[in-house]
Structure 1
Amino acid sequence: MTKRTDRIIHILLLRPNGMTIHELSENFNVSDRTIRNEINTINSILRRSGLSDIYQNRGFIRLNHAKDDLMKIRELRLSGDDADYYTPKERFVIILFDILTAHQPIFVYQEQDKLRVSKSTIDEDMRMLRKFLSRYALQVMTSVKTGIYIQGSERLIRTMLVDVITQYGDLSRLINLDASYQDTIAQSIQSFMPMSLIKKVRLTYIDKIHEVGVNGNAANDYQLILHSCIWVRRLLMSNQIAAESHDNWQPDEGKIKAYITQTIKKFELEHVAEDEFRYIYFVLNSFNSTFASTTSGWIETQLLTTQLVTYMEEKLELPFSSQEDLYEGLYNHLTSLVYRMHEQIQSYNPLKSIIKSSYADIYQCVFKFMTTYFQEQDITISDDEICYITVYFGTAKMQIERDQELKYRVAVICNYGLATGHLLAAELEHKFNIEVLAVLSMSDIQVLAKLSIDFVIKTIQVDTGQIPSIKLPPIPQESDYLVLKNYLNKNKAAKRAGQINSTNLFDDVLTCVADVYQHIDADLIKSLSVVFKSHHLIVNEKEVQPMLADLLTDDRIQLRKSVSDWKEAIQLAAQPLIEDQVINEQYVHAMLESVVKFGPYIVIGPGLALAHARPEDGAKKLGVSVLTLATPVKFGNKDNDPVSLVFCLSAINNYSHLNVMKAIVRLVADPNKITELSQIDELEAFKQTLFQQELQRK
């Protein structure tokens, strides 16, 4: 039995619903014919053992065997005769962890003897190792006395270790302490990170934070536990980090701090330096979407979210900006992503390859935008992060395109994260006459009893009581959809008509009005809302954001004024909002302080500044004002100074000012218009130039 035949059997054992030959060929990066030949070989082995062939039907395959026969097939896998053969990937992992765990000098010739390879092969393996480590600015060094060792930043070594384990290992089985996970790569990883260490960290995590997967995102929990294990192991090996930018932080009291403190006690880590404590606190918090961000981080994420949604809307010609759930979920995700990118902390996505192939058009658009955005900051964003973002847009696309035919009512239970659960729900609604009433995590399972549903679709084996259920992978393949189709045919659920989307109808009416009258104001929106409510049509007001022209009244526009410096420019721009009691003096002080503390980040484009503070710093209402300067002033931004156009924004949440942000983003992309606006000294002409793109509601 070869490695490939053994692994094909392993995959089929894990996929009781079966799969297609083409899916397997893509998995192994070989032709369908090669897989068919492997299937013939496996059937020969099964026959010699008195077992029936693999079930095949038009390219679909499955181990259609009884329980006892499946146990015999598992035993066949354990009797493979190629235990001494290692693939290049396995040799790479073995060498890396041998170097990292050696208690005495280790030399290349020793690895050659251990792996039973030629001199030329071990030389190629070492070249592969050096090339891989160079991505992290790490070097493989050799010495007659000390043997092979890795030289470079301790932080980058830890980052590299996270990447190796997530790329080459099975993180789910590792963190879940799967005793059967004992292949070559697993054994090498466990030589560095023993199961006993993982178990102790996992139990501490459950004790101080929550049960793994209970919040609906097991993959996120796995990452936090993995980072913790690597941190503990490197400290036990006496490897310390050097202080860096975020090390002045003071960790807040809470679950994360309590968890770190308890971990230190469990492993008897004496005299943990403050730099180390702050390091792991920051890393763990960087996966938390509710992580409190700085003022500069807040506006960066706001702009990034708005620019990304606008870009995707233009490229895919879909009304993504009408999807409130998309904007709010994306903003929360990007808040933590921006922190990870700046600190070179990569996220792990267990469904990356499936997302890339299943949502190729969305992935390509997200990839182009995000790589360009971060390249300007000399930061590389990983495929894992891009695929997480793809999930949000994939969900939104399915929601936009879903039909309004009669539907089965179902609930989805997903333990891979609510974003993945919503993507599965949207995919199901797109492919079948299904209406998903709720996407739940394990902790919300008690809600099922309160829902009027026909059945449950789940991604984990869980008891749903009296409610029928079917288990599917989080991102199903065609073979899985066939199983669901058969299930629907056998279980006739009560179908009900889909509901009218009142908010979409409201937005369509506004668009028609705009086409005729060329303007939408707040009074019209309010009046129309009353009419809808009188007919029992509930409108989600979060989706009805005022436009820049609605908020920027005449008294909030100041043209061609003179100021002495950037501080006076912000104070003058904010004055109309103070007079209208939109903001208070504390808000102005916070705007000035944030520039002093974080630098001129508010200069977001050539000649354009967006003065703002966080909502809790004194914003009372949604509002915006604008100031143009007779003589431009410098804010200290070498790329975009001097500034001639200053907006002052008061935002009270993350969504109501979306249209304002879109208008400002369009200005950033049009430096000539900024110059034109700064030279206008007549109010009506200024408004006509600024609002010309808002003549109809988008």
Structure 2
Amino acid sequence: MYNRKIKLIRALLGHERMSSAELMDKLDISQRTLRNEVKEINEILRQENVGIYSSNTGGYYLKAEEKQNVQKVLDRMIRKSKNVILPETPDERFLFGFTTLFLEKRPISIQRTAEKLFVSKTAMLQTKKEIQDACRWYHGLTIEVSSKGSRITGPEKILRHALAEIMNYYTYGAILMERVITFLFGSEKYEDYIALYKALPAILQQYGYRLIDKAIEGFALDIFVSLMRREKGFELEEDAGDYETWPCVEEICRFLEKKEYDIPKQERSYMAECLRAKRILYTQGKTYEVPEEYTEITKEFLEIVDRKYHTDYRNNEELFTRLSVHIGKMIERIEQGYFETNPTLENVLEYYEREVRMAEELNQILQEKYQFIANVHEICYVAIYLKAYDFQRLKAVILCDIGESFADNMARQITDYCGEKIHILEKMSLAEYRLDPVPVDLVISGSRVYGVEFPKKTKIIYVDYLLKEENLKAIQEYLMKEGTDYDKDDCN
């Protein structure tokens, strides 16, 4: 870490010689780490033609005649550590280095990048290899290398998407997000980002958007990265299409305008594109309007899977709807030139191998229709849907007309008897259910239910308030049939 280098130099300045064991104990590091630290420090000290030396008998020392220049380098390092946030681990070095390259208009040399991050040239060369590997995930992005250095090039939209996605995925939490944004843009801009991030959930909720947490953060970064790149002179490519006003986007822009950001139509259109592609939380009972193009793709995909793997996914309407929404948003992401990183990738590949093979069937359809495929990160998200609905619990509501304690007792007995095949969503009064007939598979009641317009798929089973053995068997029999049509009057 950067602070460790300062401590190591200070220790050597204060002693004529220190053994490896003394330095390892003082810095609480291994011998291998110590050797690496000395090597990296020497690359920094070389700027002043000085260095750390090792003796034949072991240990390290500074030459007396060089200590004054070493002290100058140390003072510079300390000043920089107080005024600037710098990467302290290999992961941070990758994140800071990668994001720095995204904001350079002209090629930047390895030496200049190393100085900017205050790391060794050797460390920066290793980071460059990692950056080159990461760029390969984004079609259209390239690292141009010349005698003047390197820079990342590609369509402006893809550059923005990639930068926002990398920051979203590699920050792992608020502290590192603050560090990288402050490093790139300064503390005042970080305050603007945090204000936007905190305001977004209420604005999204106001206009009916339920995004997952990572999508909210991702959308905030999409917007913030766009503002920052525009300030640095990077403009979006001209779009011949007219901007369709999105009330939610307009509300976000009003918030940003109060902070003196100018948001032209081109930028508003880009924000709308980003929002369309974000993954959502589904609302029970809500009807989702999915373009026919995406429902047809989902239908064809599930029919192929059912035929090849002897499953029955296509007949599960909830899966069909949710997967249609997800696939539509996934296609939007791929068309925009990016993907959503899957943090559970390795575990999904290891434990859900069958579902991953199923999900890969989607790529044949995408290739034929769009001439692109989804990468392994996106495929694994689809695999998780298939796994989730491979063993689908039926949803139930218990009506409690004579007291919630009876309903609690029913829920306990039903769960004990039927296990994971049933998921009791609610305990409700009949009056509540009349006002809001929750779309579930099963309604369980101890008294006759009347005056209710049941959702089409909902069945009702009448039971004794204390649940007799035959009642539990009737419920279990229904669960085993998983939706076989019952006549409501026969379920008593």
- Report the TM range for the smaller structure's normalisation: 0.5 to 0.7
Looking at structure 1, the residues matched to 350 and 429 of structure 2 have their Cα atoms a distance apart, in angstroms, of: 37
Amino acid at match of 1:279: Y
Selected match of 1:314 from 307, 319, 336: 307
Relative distance call for 1:323 and 1:112 in structure 2 (3 A) is same
Equivalent residues in 2 for 1:113-152, closer than 5 Å: 113=115, 114-119=117-122, 122-133=124-135, 135-141=138-144, 148-152=150-154
Number of the residue aligned with 2:229: 234
Matched residue count = 344
Equivalent residues in 2 for 1:410-489, closer than 5 Å: 435-438=422-425
Contact 2:96 2:180 survives alignment (8 Å): yes
After superposition, give the CA deviation of every residue in 1:128-182 in whole Å (9 maximum; x if it has no partner): 43453354433444678x8654333211111221332234221xx23xxxxxx24
Looking at structure 2, the residues matched to 408 and 198 of structure 1 have their Cα atoms a distance apart, in angstroms, of: 49
Number of the residue aligned with 1:278: 269
Relative distance call for 1:345 and 1:115 in structure 2 (3 A) is same
After superposition, give the CA deviation of every residue in 1:6-29 in whole Å (9 maximum; x if it has no partner): xxxxxxxxxxxxxxxxxxxxxxxx
Looking at structure 1, the residues matched to 336 and 221 of structure 2 have their Cα atoms a distance apart, in angstroms, of: 17
Relative distance call for 1:150 and 1:385 in structure 2 (3 A) is closer
Contact 1:97 1:189 survives alignment (8 Å): no
Looking at structure 2, the residues matched to 534 and 199 of structure 1 have their Cα atoms a distance apart, in angstroms, of: 57
Relative distance call for 1:220 and 1:98 in structure 2 (3 A) is closer
Selected match of 1:222 from 204, 217, 222: 217
Q: Are 1:156 and 2:149 matched, yes or no?
A: no
Deviation at 1:222, TM superposition (A): 2.5
After superposition, give the CA deviation of every residue in 1:352-395 in whole Å (9 maximum; x if it has no partner): 444443423212220x2123222333323133432332232212
Selected match of 1:533 from 483, 488, 491: 488
Deviation at 1:241, TM superposition (A): 0.4
Relative distance call for 1:358 and 1:167 in structure 2 (3 A) is same
Relative distance call for 1:191 and 1:363 in structure 2 (3 A) is same
Amino acid at match of 1:278: S
Number of the residue aligned with 2:361: 369
After superposition, give the CA deviation of every residue in 1:193-241 in whole Å (9 maximum; x if it has no partner): 6531321211331342239x99473233222222222222222323210
Contact 2:342 2:378 survives alignment (8 Å): yes
Deviation at 1:338, TM superposition (A): 2.8
Amino acid at match of 2:313: F
After superposition, give the CA deviation of every residue in 1:492-527 in whole Å (9 maximum; x if it has no partner): xxx99473575985976xxxxxxxxxxxxxxxxxxx
Number of the residue aligned with 1:108: 110
Aligned to 1:436, the other structure's residue is in SS state strand
Deviation at 1:106, TM superposition (A): 5.0
Looking at structure 2, the residues matched to 232 and 395 of structure 1 have their Cα atoms a distance apart, in angstroms, of: 38
Aligned to 2:365, the other structure's residue is in SS state helix
In the alignment, structure 1 segments of 5+ residues that lack a partner are: 2-40, 43-82, 175-180, 411-427, 439-446, 452-494, 509-528, 538-698
Contact 2:178 2:190 survives alignment (8 Å): no
Number of the residue aligned with 1:287: 278
Contact 2:139 2:337 survives alignment (8 Å): no
Number of the residue aligned with 1:203: 198
After superposition, give the CA deviation of every residue in 1:300-334 in whole Å (9 maximum; x if it has no partner): 21221112212222333222233222122222322
Deviation at 1:108, TM superposition (A): 1.9
Relative distance call for 1:103 and 1:238 in structure 2 (3 A) is closer
Looking at structure 1, the residues matched to 105 and 330 of structure 2 have their Cα atoms a distance apart, in angstroms, of: 37
Amino acid at match of 2:383: T
Looking at structure 1, the residues matched to 109 and 350 of structure 2 have their Cα atoms a distance apart, in angstroms, of: 42
Q: Are 1:269 and 2:269 matched, yes or no?
A: no
Deviation at 1:101, TM superposition (A): 5.0
Amino acid at match of 1:330: L
Looking at structure 1, the residues matched to 375 and 178 of structure 2 have their Cα atoms a distance apart, in angstroms, of: 24
Relative distance call for 1:383 and 1:505 in structure 2 (3 A) is same
Equivalent residues in 2 for 1:22-421, closer than 5 Å: 86-87=89-90, 89-101=91-103, 107-113=109-115, 114-119=117-122, 122-133=124-135, 135-141=138-144, 148-170=150-172, 173-174=173-174, 181-182=175-176, 187-192=179-184, 195-210=190-205, 215=210, 217-244=212-239, 247-252=241-246, 254-259=247-252, 261-270=253-262, 272-287=263-278, 298-366=291-359, 368-376=360-368, 377-399=370-392, 409=411
Contact 1:112 1:118 survives alignment (8 Å): yes
Number of the residue aligned with 2:67: none
Deviation at 1:276, TM superposition (A): 1.7
Aligned to 2:424, the other structure's residue is in SS state strand
After superposition, give the CA deviation of every residue in 1:275-308 in whole Å (9 maximum; x if it has no partner): 2211111221232778866xxxx33212211122
Relative distance call for 1:128 and 1:385 in structure 2 (3 A) is closer
- Provide TM-score, normalisation by structure 1: 0.42
What value does the CA root-mean-square deviation take over the aligned residues? 4.5
Relative distance call for 1:340 and 1:97 in structure 2 (3 A) is closer
Deviation at 1:100, TM superposition (A): 4.0
Equivalent residues in 2 for 1:487-498, closer than 5 Å: 497=472
Deviation at 1:250, TM superposition (A): 1.4
Contact 2:181 2:190 survives alignment (8 Å): no
Contact 1:95 1:111 survives alignment (8 Å): yes
After superposition, give the CA deviation of every residue in 1:564-605 in whole Å (9 maximum; x if it has no partner): xxxxxxxxxxxxxxxxxxxxxxxxxxxxxxxxxxxxxxxxxx
Contact 2:132 2:143 survives alignment (8 Å): yes
Contact 1:106 1:147 survives alignment (8 Å): yes
Deviation at 1:127, TM superposition (A): 4.1
Contact 1:408 1:433 survives alignment (8 Å): no
Aligned to 1:248, the other structure's residue is in SS state coil
Contact 2:356 2:380 survives alignment (8 Å): yes
Contact 1:362 1:394 survives alignment (8 Å): yes
